[in-house]
Structure 1
Amino acid sequence: MTDALCHLVVDGNEVLEFKLVRSVEDIECNSTSFSSEMCHQVFGENENIFGYTDLRIKLFYSAGSLQTYLGIEYTDKIEPSKAEGLKADDVEGALKKVLAPGFVTNLDQFLTLVEKDKSFTPHGRLVHAFSVTPEGDNRRMFEVYYSEISTPGFLSFHERLQTFLLWYVDAASFIDVDDDQWNFFTVFEKYEASEGGHRYATAAYATAYRYYAYPRNLRPRISQVLTLPPFRKLGICAHLIKAIYTHFTVLPEVIDITVEDPSPDFQRIRDYVDVKNCETLPAFQPAQLHQGFSQDMANQARSKFKINKKQARRVYEILRLKHTNTSDKTSYLNYRLDVKNRLNAPFQKKKLEMKKLQRVLAPEEFAAAASASGAHETQARLAALYAALELDYRRVLHRLQLHE
């Protein structure tokens, strides 16, 4: 591409504008706009769009039912006949592939849909309600609803909701809606309408898959979790996790609850919720913590809160750090050794495997295998792993302290 055409290349994230529209006034209000975090799942790996001058892409959703408006604006578009056959990227075509059917491209038509949103009520069954009071702001009310594939009207709503994954979750994929083992938890803000009464705005959601566990049990796995940008930093995700726990912990057939590939941010919120729960259990009291992780801890965490053993061990380590005097060299050393012994287990396994190889390989072959495995870097990697883990644990403890 010549330098003369470089001005026709734009970053897709910079030209995308999102809104959750509650009223006509929101259309022209800049404070209601938010941006995407990624767009490579729609516009390609480099996230660039070619061929337009002053390109703006507007994706507006009615706040409740998420009826969708797509607006594409530009002042000029490259003509192949004047640019050696180069064509502008098909922006509308790329978006049509991922947007739910029924989106509109006429703004007046969209505003009619926004007006109809006044009568929108959440699909499913109310399972949790909570309020938050942001600093310097008024109290805000939220509700969490549980839905299944069979919940009337939910699938068409979910089809619109899941499109947000593409802009905020890397390697996102849409779920198979023919599989009735999927469960859904959706968070809505319940707010007072200017004309009186209450209205709803979609804020967050999570999916959970009910995996079969032999012989007649279930092991639910939390899969997709997303809080929409206008509702972040309000503690909503923690309440969403609590709602999921509340739903599943009362089911006797549920063994424990797992999470599919949790992001670091989600893992910290999960840790926070689990630590708050487990510090009420007898096995997680300070006297027991200093004796090391026990089967009793694993059993109580699973029995009371359906927390799996791997996660129960993290909870133990966080709570033990909370009750360790890090100014006491011996106590702090004992804590670090306890955690590092767990972190070191995979390296020890690899070490045993290398010893077996040493017996069957020629010296030069073994040296090459040891080099490729990074065996000599084990201590450095272990130290780095521990440092990162303790930092994460301290963030969880800081949040606990703020909410005590």
Structure 2
Amino acid sequence: MAATLVSNILEEYKCDANSSVHIKLVENEKDVFNKEKAFHPNMSHQIFGDSEVIFGYKNLEVQLYYHAGSLLTYLGIKYSAAVDKLSPVDIKPDDVISLVKKVLAPGHFSNLDQFLSKFPEEDKFTPMGELIETFIVSEETYQVYKAGISTPRFKSYHERLQTFVLWYIDAASFLDMDDSKWDFFLMFKKSSEVGITRFSIAGYTAVYRYYAYPDMKRPRISQFLILPTFQKKGLGAKLLLAVDNHYTKDKKVLDMTVEDPVNDFLRLRDYVDVLRCRSLPVFKPNYLCKGFSKEMVDQARRKLKVNQHQCRRVYEILRLGATNLNDPEEHRKYRLEIKKRLNAPFQKEKADLKKLQRVLTADEYAAAVANISQREQLNILEENYRETIAEYKRILERVAAS
């Protein structure tokens, strides 16, 4: 009975880590105390474990504040109660500060007054690297800078910046900052007030320049993040376009790739590449209806650094836009072409099984073939087709709205 009572009491001291962590990008003292400035992580398992639970507190608030420009950092916690001796065994709360400190850059503050006292100096922050793009979104000015490990001030800045990936990119890890093949593209909001110019970090991406035979390079986007307070403004597309435009000018770049893209980034990339490719002659409606071609791959790669796999996706999206789905014959031709591609993995699996037939017993081969029935394959294929078309329609709607 007593053990059950203690267990119930302990449950009250469990906090959801994602909602307990309050992150802020602050420009002044007013921002520090403005609750509406706070945003939360998408994930916290890389700091607090798979359960994403913090034990030992009631009404916990983990305060992680960054100067919006320099990313000078403050870490503190608030709570209404902490677990005490509720059983014969001394129960201690999780050491939240130590867990978060492990991923923060050196030089962060645990005293809020000391953090605030540094603002006059931090307000003088200016971006590092080469300015490659300036644009205006909703009457706000944004700039994109390119930097590398040899760029003055950048390595120490990146130590602060990279902590965001642990909260927002699943399975992310810190990069090797001794490798000169890394390129970084930083997006800042630029604002002026009473003669003072301020820069606030809005997002960034890290790109690794891989080798491509015989003397080319193939940049691969590794990390891509727009911070929560700057999302839903079209800034992701602007940053990706700036990166694409930069490498498109480089004659030594073969094409662009992406490392393990999540669905949100796939949508963003599709949207940006459709915008870019639709101006090429081979992606005009009269060419699209003839089917996917080598000329499409060659032009997309040569002029825009779009790789073959992504070129195929762009073709399928634009072909959908050029297809009259109310025309049975046009719709049938488009559906068959998409399903043929979607069915390719099943056909490869069958071919592989055929090769193995010589080394498998009759029973083993029959079991392998029966693993997915013909009807199941058709159902999976139809479902994949419907999901693909729905996704493509969303891309086309966004393109039309732009």
Query: Structure 1 length normalisation: TM-score?
Result: 0.95
User: What's the CA shift string for 1:83-117, capped at 9, x where partnerless?
Assistant: 52322111111111111111101111111233322
Distance across 1 between alignment mates of 2:273 and 2:358? 45
Deviation at residue 146 of structure 1 after TM alignment:
0.2
Contact 1:62 1:113 in 2 (8 A): no
Q: Which amino acid aligns with 1:312?
A: C
SS at match of 1:186: strand
1:185-204 residue pairs with structure 2 within 5 A? 185-193=185-193, 195-204=194-203
Q: 1:69 aligns with which of 74, 79, 101?
A: 74
SS at match of 2:202: strand
1:340-359 residue pairs with structure 2 within 5 A? 340-359=339-358
SS at match of 1:178: coil
1:322-361 residue pairs with structure 2 within 5 A? 322-361=321-360
Contact 2:76 2:97 in 1 (8 A): no
How has the CA–CA distance of structure 1 residues 398 and 81 changed in structure 2, closer, same or farther, with 3 Å as cutoff?
Answer: closer
How has the CA–CA distance of structure 1 residues 95 and 375 changed in structure 2, closer, same or farther, with 3 Å as cutoff?
Answer: farther
User: What's the CA shift string for 1:26-80, capped at 9, x where partnerless?
Assistant: 1121221111111111000000111123321100000001110001122332235
User: What's the CA shift string for 1:229-278, capped at 9, x where partnerless?
Assistant: 00001111111111111211111111001011111111111111111111
Deviation at residue 363 of structure 1 after TM alignment:
2.8
1:202-281 residue pairs with structure 2 within 5 A? 202-281=201-280
Deviation at residue 82 of structure 1 after TM alignment:
5.0
1:28-39 residue pairs with structure 2 within 5 A? 28-39=33-44
CA RMSD after TM alignment: 1.5
SS at match of 2:343: helix
Contact 1:21 1:114 in 2 (8 A): no
Deviation at residue 386 of structure 1 after TM alignment:
1.4
Choose 230-239 or 385-394, whichever is displaced more.
385-394
Contact 1:351 1:375 in 2 (8 A): no
How has the CA–CA distance of structure 1 residues 299 and 83 changed in structure 2, closer, same or farther, with 3 Å as cutoff?
Answer: farther
Q: Does residue 131 of the first structure (1) align with residue 139 of the second (2)?
A: no
1:4-83 residue pairs with structure 2 within 5 A? 4-80=9-85
Deviation at residue 149 of structure 1 after TM alignment:
0.5
Distance across 1 between alignment mates of 2:79 and 2:263? 38
Q: Which amino acid aligns with 1:77?
A: A
Distance across 2 between alignment mates of 1:223 and 1:200? 25
Contact 2:75 2:109 in 1 (8 A): yes
Q: Which amino acid aligns with 1:104?
A: F
1:278-317 residue pairs with structure 2 within 5 A? 278-317=277-316
Contact 2:206 2:222 in 1 (8 A): yes
Q: Which amino acid aligns with 1:341?
A: K
SS at match of 1:332: helix
Contact 1:275 1:315 in 2 (8 A): yes
Contact 1:257 1:307 in 2 (8 A): yes
- Structure 2 unaligned residues grouped into runs of 5+: 1-5
Question: Which residue is 1:136 aligned to?
Answer: none
1:96-115 residue pairs with structure 2 within 5 A? 96-115=101-120
Question: Which residue is 1:179 aligned to?
Answer: 179
SS at match of 2:221: strand
Q: Which amino acid aligns with 2:287?
A: Q
How has the CA–CA distance of structure 1 residues 375 and 206 changed in structure 2, closer, same or farther, with 3 Å as cutoff?
Answer: farther
Deviation at residue 377 of structure 1 after TM alignment:
2.5
Q: Which amino acid aligns with 1:196?
A: G
- Structure 1 unaligned residues grouped into runs of 5+: 134-138
Q: Which amino acid aligns with 1:180?
A: S
SS at match of 1:119: coil
Calculate percent identity across the aligned residue pairs: 48
Choose 68-77 or 274-283, whichever is displaced more.
68-77
How has the CA–CA distance of structure 1 residues 182 and 375 changed in structure 2, closer, same or farther, with 3 Å as cutoff?
Answer: farther
Deviation at residue 355 of structure 1 after TM alignment:
2.5
Question: Which residue is 2:3 aligned to?
Answer: none
Distance across 2 between alignment mates of 1:399 and 1:288? 23
Deviation at residue 360 of structure 1 after TM alignment:
4.2
Aligned residues: 397
User: What's the CA shift string for 1:338-382, capped at 9, x where partnerless?
Assistant: 111111111111111223334543332112222446666322221
Distance across 2 between alignment mates of 1:335 and 1:112? 63
